[in-house]
Structures are given as structure tokens and as C-alpha cells.
Amino acid sequence: MIGKEIRLERIMDRNTGRSVIIPMDHGFTLGQIEGLVDMKKTVSEVSDGGANAIVLHKGLVKGGHRGSGRDIGLIIHLSASTQLNPDPNDKVTICTVAEAIALGADAVSIHINLGAPQESRMLEEAGVISRHCMKWAMPLLVMIYPRGKDIDPYSPKLVGHCVRVAEEIGADIIKTNYTGDKKSFQDISASCSVPVLIAGGEKTSDLESLSLINEAVSAGSAGVCAGRNAFQRDNTREFVRALSRVVHDRVAPEDALLKESRPGIWSNKV
């Protein structure tokens, strides 16, 4: 398993055991959106801010590879759908583990919506991908949520069920919703043998977003996967730097936003 361990070290910080991941797969779903037009610029900003890894679809690896500056982990997303689909919860596989390896990925990610009409197909595809990941010692990030008609996406019971499903499929890292309650999320993360990261959530003010993420980390989250909540900020680099300090250095959100308190990337990296 040494190959998987080496790859995971490029995604999960070895000192803190946590990670700041910036998904950038939204263009496939939404089109040419703010923050994902100049990919090299955005990747540079989140990398300079101290993010551990980014998530890209296979076709953007070339456009998003900087070739200079601080290194950053690469996770290739295998799942996709578009907003034109009558059911946005319907995710299909558009890339393979072998393709991701050829592109230099450090991990792959998949998306599963429990409760959606296509749940059984998504689970079946996840099982195949997990098997290939095990064969090639490729870390697997499972993004999994309770989604469907009359389903509460923040229900502790359902979020906990999602985490258990991802763990049993063979996930090495799990991304899911924060329940909004420290006690319930602490119970969920403590019952899982692999790191559980929270989704970035709805875009709010810098301080509100950082405060929510800080609370989740205090409740056992191993970090955050923040997409639009990060790359659509007025100053993406500065926000990601503050986010990295909250997650890795456990700096209070209001202090992390002070420029004089953060001369560089988080302290255990300088």
C-alpha cells in the first residue's frame, strides 16, 4: 500500500491529519462560471493560499497545471452531470482510474447521492471504481450526500448513513454535509475509520464561512472541500490562506483574517 500512502501525503497534511481541498469541477455542471475562467490563475491563487489539493475533471488537467510555484495535490473527478438534466442528482462516470493515473493524479473522486432515483446505479459504479482504486493503490475520495424528494440533506441520521456507506465502499476520504450541530457530527466522525471532510456550504461572508468550518473541525471534521465558497471570493488567495490557518493551525476565524497574523502559508509549512 506504499503507493497509496505516498499519494495520500500529497492530499492530507502529515502533521495535522487534515486537508483543505478546493473542488473546481463546477464548470461541467454549470458552464463558464465566475472563478473558473482562467484556470491557471485560480489554481495558482488557491495553491499560494495553502490549499492541499484541487479537484478537476480530466480535460482541465493540462489547463490547470501551473508548472511552477508551490506544488498542490491533484484529484481527478470521475463523476459528472449538467444543469440541463431534469434530475441534477443523476451522476454518471466519465473517467476511469487508469486515465487518472496517466494524467498524474494523486487521487480520484466520485459523487454519490443517496436517496436519488439513480442511487443503485451510482453505488454499482462506485463499487467498480473502488475495486480499481484498490488494484492501483489510488486514494478514493467519495463525495456523498442525502439527496432526493422529501430528504433533509443535513439530517444527522442520513449524513451518518452516507458516511457509513462511503466507508464500506472503500473510501479513503469522505466529503459530506455538515449537520450544523457539533455533537451529532462528532458522533458521525468518531464512528468512521477514515477522514471525514465537510462541504463548503452556501457562500456567506468570509467570517461566517470560516466560523462554520472552524466549528466543524472542532467537531472532528478532517477539513473542508470548499469550491465556490473559495474560488468566487473577491480575494481567493487571502481567503484560502485564512481557511488553511483555521483548519491546520486552529487559529480563530477572526484572527485568521488578519493579514499581519499570517505572513505565509500555515506555520507548519514554512
CA distances from 89 to 25, 53, 112, 261 (A): 15, 25, 8, 41
Instruction: Choose among 53, 42, 43: nearest CA to 76.
Output: 53
Residue of 58, 145, 172, 206 marked active site: 145
Q: Residue 100 sits in a domain of what CATH number?
A: 3.20.20.70
Question: Is 25 noted as a catalytic residue in this protein?
Answer: yes
Q: Which domain holds residue 58?
A: 2-269
Instruction: Choose among 101, 99, 126, 100: nearest CA to 112.
Output: 126
Question: What string of pLDDT tens digits covers the 270 residues of the chain?
Answer: 689 999 999 999 999 999 999 999 999 999 999 999 999 999 999 999 999 999 999 999 987 666 667 889 999 999 999 999 999 899 999 999 999 999 999 999 999 999 999 999 999 999 999 999 999 999 999 999 999 999 999 999 999 999 999 999 999 999 999 999 999 999 999 999 999 999 987 788 999 999 999 999 999 999 999 999 999 999 999 999 999 999 999 999 999 998 645 444 444 443
Domain count for the chain, please give it: 1
Grid cell digits, residue 207: 467570517
Instruction: Choose among 114, 117, 75, 72: nearest CA to 95.
Output: 75
Residue of 13, 25, 206, 249 marked active site: 25
Q: pLDDT (tens digit, 9 = 90+) per residue, 44-103?
A: 999 999 999 999 999 999 876 666 678 899 999 999 999 999 998 999 999 999 999 999
Residue of 175, 178, 206, 249 marked active site: 175
Question: Is 175 noted as a catalytic residue in this protein?
Answer: yes
Question: Is 259 noted as a catalytic residue in this protein?
Answer: no
